[in-house]
Structure 1
């Protein structure tokens, strides 16, 4: 054999090895992707072909002109284009199972929430430069110069614009307006404080909850787990109702909605209070939680602490108190909603040591290999909130979201919506769209969406019996969805 021939054969062999090795690596990676174990039926494959044609067109347009790729653009600027996206319209039709992470006073679309400010009996006052809202019936009860909102509106054509600015984070220049994460969180928590008094009025709370259920149901979400607490409420006769009565209102409203929508699976509440408190206050929280759970065991799913992690108390401050009840309840801790390393993110360590059932956000989780190991070992659900993480300044370009790593490695993730009221979102479809287009590979397909739908139930707090029933319902909804897509696109 001549040297030249030997070199040619050697080069050919090396190239063959390269391509074989490349295909093996790609195949191994694909086998770890979320949903990779799902085998599509013939009809599902036809639907998948439709979806992928839509995805490839949008993805490749963004590849050629990155300035147009919507997951890389701030949601305040991309929302209108998302609503025109054919992928988004497809995702709206997908049965999304459950929403497992949202907060009780920020779940409704902004438009619907704002419309509720037209309810009878709502007053506003300028309290030394701080505008406040409250419902009064039969006279006001403090020295502020309260006026009906209808009077404010009649006398000031710009009042609705002013009120809007108090109830939303949406601005023309989010980067310039919110200089850092503390700035946007300050405004964010201020909005919660501003709207909170509205929920003291029972009729407002009822109408709000009913519309929340309607919006999620319309978005093909059939079950909700909601972070929230229960305070006193009052009616138009100024009758005061205690926290247990407020919890009953949630149940009654849910039952009322299900009478008209019998395929809606229901709601559960994760009792959630501020993490920026003393240990004495935490004792009170825990006592109140057990009182509520004893009275409404089917409604109360577990316990969580909420608020900005960076400026709140870490879980370790309450470790003794929480560990003492860990075998008596389920935890669903917010943890790792931070960009810091070796500080706030240590809540992730504490959450798994306290045997949390799910982790809210888990944005910093890739900095903690032992947490990643335990999450897979114990099958702990990870609640990813794409839009929330972008709007609240953890990540600008959602292609860089930690969810891309978690999805690529088949971690037990669910896609959730957090607080859609305050950034102009609605239901789950916007977050699902951002995750599917920005956090999955170009060839990530229908199997990912199907796995996300099933995960939303598998990692819920439903009992085994209720879970079996919910999966049966989801299977039927999924089959109907497949047929609908085939009829619509073919």
Structure 2
């Protein structure tokens, strides 16, 4: 065979190889979230702006892996995230809905801390943990209550101690939290400290109003949040039960919507502790039925919360949960928020599916279960993924290794959520969106992913269909305004977007 023929054959073989390689790469990327979206000409131009920032940041991280923000603990990466042009872009982007966060950890840390300057706030330290409560006068008892104002003036280091009690932020999380047990203990203790502060009725309503405001400022138009319906109190001793607390939420929401008519609303998921006995869950069922009957537009459904590895699994409460399911109550179960496989925590996924859950909170262990993955995709059960929460609560160190990377790149029904931003110094949704976009997505993941995540957040909400259509129409208007402003090179203010 002549050298010319051999060269020709090699050239053809080489061409076939590169053609097949391109097909394989394209086929693989065609499964990712947003891959089916065809960008308009305007969106393509905005995408160039976004990707110019992303590729530089991504490739700089590839050159110096220690600088890649999703691989760094959030306590140490936060300032870098805030300086990122990609984060700035995401912060200004209309993100739709926030679908997984908890009642007493919703606001920014700064706002939470500033609440401690309210009048009549007392503090007391029990076993090195600060308790907070509002009283109209000094109260005696097991706790030596002192005005927080006096504690500040008497001790120059009190404020530092106070701040340490309102979050789980530490300088060296690896040393401070050697295992999930230590970080969860601190996490739950923080809820205990915050509880008395935010359940004073005026603070409770101001707190919820501020939560909605911070979401709106982050270009979020709708909220579904989980809560315990804690007893709320007045200075004069008056208290509000679960019905009264729900009315306070609704009253505050209605006022917020009057002040900001472009906000599309909020719904509540009753989510009490899972670490209880069956009789208590029977009480939960009764409360949920009462709430649904009285506030059908505001009550979205039911969940059980708390550290899954140390709480009761769903299987312990099947009769009660089946009874609740018969009332058409929607479920939003936390499931498989764990590194373990085959444990009761991990098996919560199976019971959540069998109980026809509407969404799954976290679902961190789902990639270990092919049949559950199949059912989630077939039934369109959204997975609520909270990157920062999963990192700081020690399920994963490097977010490039988070199961969300597989789920995002395989096109599963995913929404990105914020869980408990107060306690780790985040705010609303943008920090989690940034880490998902940079840490989960491919290097080539682009505006299409962000657009689909926003659409997912609205599609997988429990808004009524006509309400959802209205929200989607409003979002489309916001999206077009956002694109125009990016192309104009102007500074984007929340009022321009919303």
Corresponding residue of 1:425: 426
Most deviating of 135-144 and 241-250: 135-144
Contact 1:50–1:489 (CA<8 Å) still a contact in 2?
no
- Matches of 1:361 and 1:395 in 2, distance apart? 13
- 1:237-264 Cα shifts (integer Å, max 9, x gaps): 3322222111111111111111221101
5+ residue gaps, structure 1, are: none
Corresponding residue of 1:134: 133
- 1:275-328 Cα shifts (integer Å, max 9, x gaps): 111111111111111111211111110000111111111111112221232242
- 1:104-147 Cα shifts (integer Å, max 9, x gaps): 00011111101011111110113354431111124526342211
- 1:186-206 Cα shifts (integer Å, max 9, x gaps): 111111112112233101101
Corresponding residue of 2:81: 82
Corresponding residue of 2:60: 61
Corresponding residue of 1:449: 450
Q: Report the Cα offset of residue 20 of structure 1.
A: 1.6
- 1:212-260 Cα shifts (integer Å, max 9, x gaps): 1111110001111110021332223332222211111111111111122
Structure 2 residue matching 1:179: 3-state secondary structure: coil
Structure 2 residue matching 1:32: 3-state secondary structure: coil
Contact 2:337–2:346 (CA<8 Å) still a contact in 1?
yes
Q: How does 1:12-23 map to 2 (within 5 A)?
A: 12-23=11-22
Report whether the alignment pairs 1:145 with 2:144. Answer: yes
Report whether the alignment pairs 1:378 with 2:379. Answer: yes
Q: Report the Cα offset of residue 10 of structure 1.
A: 4.1
Q: How does 1:66-465 map to 2 (within 5 A)?
A: 66-127=65-126, 129-140=128-139, 142-327=141-326, 328-343=328-343, 344-465=345-466
- 1:72-109 Cα shifts (integer Å, max 9, x gaps): 11111110111110000000110010100000000111
- 1:356-415 Cα shifts (integer Å, max 9, x gaps): 000000111110000110111110011010000110011111111111111111111000
Change (3 A) 1:450 1:129: closer
- Matches of 2:408 and 2:138 in 1, distance apart? 55
Structure 1 residue matching 2:100: 3-state secondary structure: strand
- Matches of 2:478 and 2:332 in 1, distance apart? 28
5+ residue gaps, structure 2, are: 492-498
TM-score of the pair, normalised by structure 1: 0.97
- Matches of 2:60 and 2:161 in 1, distance apart? 39
- 1:162-189 Cα shifts (integer Å, max 9, x gaps): 1111111111100010001111111111
Change (3 A) 1:180 1:128: closer
Corresponding residue of 2:469: 468
Structure 1 residue matching 2:262: 3-state secondary structure: coil
- 1:24-60 Cα shifts (integer Å, max 9, x gaps): 1111112111111111111111100100101111111
Kindly report the root-mean-square deviation, in angstroms, between the aligned alpha carbons of the 2 structures: 1.4
Structure 1 residue matching 2:445: 3-state secondary structure: coil
- Matches of 2:127 and 2:175 in 1, distance apart? 27
- Matches of 2:107 and 2:490 in 1, distance apart? 31
- 1:409-436 Cα shifts (integer Å, max 9, x gaps): 1111000000000000001000000000
Most deviating of 281-290 and 171-180: 281-290
- Matches of 1:335 and 1:154 in 2, distance apart? 46
- 1:4-24 Cα shifts (integer Å, max 9, x gaps): 555444433332222121111
- Matches of 1:128 and 1:52 in 2, distance apart? 51
Contact 1:72–1:399 (CA<8 Å) still a contact in 2?
yes
- Matches of 1:164 and 1:446 in 2, distance apart? 38
Q: Report the Cα offset of residue 489 of structure 1.
A: 6.3
Q: For this pair of structures, how many residues does the alignment match?
A: 489
Structure 1 residue matching 2:105: 3-state secondary structure: coil
Most deviating of 137-146 and 297-306: 137-146
- Matches of 1:131 and 1:401 in 2, distance apart? 34
Change (3 A) 1:7 1:128: closer
- Matches of 1:177 and 1:127 in 2, distance apart? 21
Report whether the alignment pairs 1:42 with 2:41. Answer: yes
Contact 1:267–1:299 (CA<8 Å) still a contact in 2?
yes
- Runs of 4+ more than 4 Å apart: 4-7
Structure 2 residue matching 1:132: 3-state secondary structure: strand
Structure 1 residue matching 2:308: 3-state secondary structure: coil
